[in-house]
Amino acid sequence: MFAFLDFCRKTEKSLSEFFKVLPKLPNDPTNHNSLRLYFIMNFLQKFIPTTIDIGAGEIIDFTGRKSSMQDIILYRSNYPVFTTSDIHDTYLLEGVIATIEILPHGDLLQLRQRFINSASVKNLKPSKHNISANNSQDYMELKLRTMPKTFIFSPFNLVNQDAFVKSYQIAKKGTSGVVPDGIFIQGDPGNYAQYDPYTRKTAFLTEDPFIHFFEHLYTIIMAEVKPTMLLPEISAAMNYDFSSYFSDFMRQSIQNQ
């Protein structure tokens, strides 16, 4: 526990010191990329296992629908990544664990746009799958893992707690109630808005928000570790039928003839 706390404290301080330099260059087009790269190198790569890779691009489901461009995509390394004719990579929905949108400025309008980006992932549909479980808890856990978790990270907090909650609710209406799993806003005070898929409620946590963010993300990452490394017996499993991708492609080909 102390190792986690020490890691969080040092990382948050490092990120904070780096981000303080960026507002001095508000018109620099490289700000967003600088934030993204620093966040990946000095945070994500510190604890993400080798079975998970980091990318960016669009996510596609078996119907052919795509998400908007995602700043950071955490995906299972044993899944393929498709590079098309443009510069963007395309990821199968079933291979994606989580997405993280970087909010470069504490702009409430930009927050709403990040909600829309998150919803574009949440509104995709996984291909046909079969879940084998011995109990309802294991079943629900695997069922929730069929969809990626979505996060928003912002180093800037230009609003107080009440204004942030109000902005959250407005953005939520704009996506018909579809919200990110977690939103971290760094500042004094900071905030972490954590959505609970079981109760469908959001908790706004102002005490040690970065620790809550790390714990939330770390829990999701560790769930991806092979079950045999955590438990002596595997009580649940999930299998996808990827033929649905090709059957839908064939239907579209016939319709276009």
Identify the band that residue 143 occupies on the pLDDT scale cut at 50, 70 and 90.
low
Copy the structure tokens of residue 70: 């995602």
Question: Average pLDDT, stretch 112-137?
Answer: 81
Identify the band that residue 25 occupies on the pLDDT scale cut at 50, 70 and 90.
low
Which residue range(s) make up the domain with 54? 2-256
∠ CA 61-227-223, rounded to 5°: 55
Cα separation, 68 vs 57, in Å, equals 8
Copy the structure tokens of residue 178: 């579809």
CB count within 10 Å of CB 75 equals 25
pLDDT score for 26: 53
**Mean pLDDT over each residue of the chain, to the nearest integer:** 82
Q: Model confidence over 206-224: pLDDT tens digits? A: 999 999 999 999 988 888 7
Q: In whole angstroms, what separates CA 214 from the centre of its chain?
A: 12
- The whole-model pTM stands at 0.85
Residues 6+ apart with CB under 8 A from 230: 222
Cα separation, 77 vs 51, in Å, equals 5
Count of the separate structural domains present in the chain: 1
Q: 245 pLDDT exceeds 80?
A: no
Identify the band that residue 244 occupies on the pLDDT scale cut at 50, 70 and 90.
confident
Q: Which residues pair with 132 in a beta bridge?
A: 237
pLDDT score for 198: 84
Residue type at 36?
R
Q: In terms of pLDDT, which residue wins out, 242 or 186? A: 186
Identify the band that residue 254 occupies on the pLDDT scale cut at 50, 70 and 90.
very low
Closest CA to 178 of 114, 87, 107: 114
Q: Model confidence over 36-53: pLDDT tens digits? A: 898 999 999 999 999 999
pLDDT score for 116: 95
Cα separation, 165 vs 199, in Å, equals 18
Cβ-count burial 106-128 (b if 16+ within 10 Å, e if not): bebeebbebbebbbbbbebebbe
Q: Where do we find the tokens 């990821």?
A: 91
Q: 56 pLDDT exceeds 70?
A: yes
Identify the band that residue 96 occupies on the pLDDT scale cut at 50, 70 and 90.
very high
